[in-house]
Amino acid sequence: MGRRKLVVGNWKMNGMRAHLNEVEAIGKLAAAHPAVEVGLCLPATLIMAGSERRGAAFIGAQNCHMDMTGAYTGSLSAEMLAEAGASWVITGHSERREARGETNADIAAKSIAAKAAGLNVILCVGESLDVRDAGDAEAVVSAQLLASLPDGASADWLAVAYEPIWAIGTGRIPTMEAVATMHGALRAALATRIGGEADKVRILYGGSMNGANAAELLAIADVDGGLIGGASLTAAKFAPIVEAADGKLAVAA
């Protein structure tokens, strides 16, 4: 049996209580496609309320601190997020790495903290346009993954998301061949650390996936789902991606 597709919306700094109806609608969408694991990583202010209206979808967080307690004003621990209703958390998103200076070691520590709190982890990696244009993308991103990978990583609590930084929110995506090559390289890199377990780890694509390109991307052998930004803010835009993951939306000719 193949890896179950995982489709996760990342709302980033979007969403108010007035938008909880979309959370509820996406929960119903998840119920209609039980073959696909569907979730939403919400802003922290909506995690508790979202978890009460999530239906068949899971609720995740967008970041966590590496320590469980401490004098870290404005930060949230993985335990706090779990208590609020999160069951997953994103670590290493490019917007945290780039804007907040988070290092590979930071991401590994956050992932370990998340696991200790009972959260599943989506670990993000990706390259800049300069790296892509230099022809070093696979080597750089594979090295980033290995440096960010927490000890004890396994498929039962960890997924990886490949995000070409230059594609996020731009509508641009790599060629399908480039996506396939990168996902294959990441699986090979995982195998050097976790052996045969690497074949079970789900590797998501996370750069401007939408209803128009999802079926083609999700048909690639090592693409096991998507980490979706803007197209996850409404059930109407998210639905075609979930349908494609469930094999219900054909690849455009």
Tell me whether residue 213 is annotated as binding.
no
Amino acid at 106: D
For residue 18, pLDDT beyond 70: yes
Q: Render pLDDT for 107-118 as a digit per residue (tens, 0 to 9).
A: 999 999 999 999
Residue 102 annotated in active site: no
| Domain CATH for 46 | 3.20.20.70
**Residue 147 included in any domain:** yes
Phi and psi at residue 155, to the nearest 5°: -70, -15
Q: Which residue has the higher pLDDT, 51 or 1?
A: 51
Q: What is the pLDDT of residue 248?
A: 66
Is the pLDDT score of 251 beyond 60? Answer: no
Task: Check pLDDT > 70 for residue 89.
Answer: yes
What percent of the chain clears pLDDT 90, i.e. is strictly above it?
92
Domain boundaries, position 182: 6-245
pLDDT of res. 114: 98
> What is the structure's pLDDT at 1?
46
Place 119 in a pLDDT band, splitting at 50, 70 and 90: very high
Q: Is residue 60 part of a domain?
A: yes
251 domain residue, yes or no: no
Q: Are 50 and 42 a contacting pair, CB within 8 Å?
A: yes
Q: Which of 22, 37, 95, 163 is catalytic?
A: 163
- Residue 105: inside a domain, yes or no? yes
Number of domains in the chain: 1
Q: Is residue 116 part of a domain?
A: yes
Whether 12 has a binding-site annotation, put simply, is yes
The annotation status of 142 as a binding-site residue, yes or no, is: no
Residue 216 among the catalytic residues: no
Does some domain include residue 61? Answer: yes
Out of 93, 127, 138, 243, which one is annotated catalytic? 93
Q: Give the span between the Cα atoms of 141 and 110, in whole angstroms.
A: 19
* 1 part of a folded domain: no
**Statement: residue 151 has pLDDT above 70:** yes
Tell me if 169 is assigned to a ligand binding site. Answer: yes
Read off the pLDDT of each residue in 193-216 and give the average, rounded to a whole number: 96
pLDDT at residue 50, rounded to an integer: 98
**Residue 217, pLDDT above cutoff 80:** yes
- Residue in the block written with tokens 């696979």: 138
Cα-atom radius of gyration of the chain, to the nearest Å? 17
Per-residue pLDDT band for 253 (boundaries 50, 70, 90) equals very low
Asked whether residue 11 is marked as a ligand-binding residue, the answer is yes
Residue 32 domain flag: yes
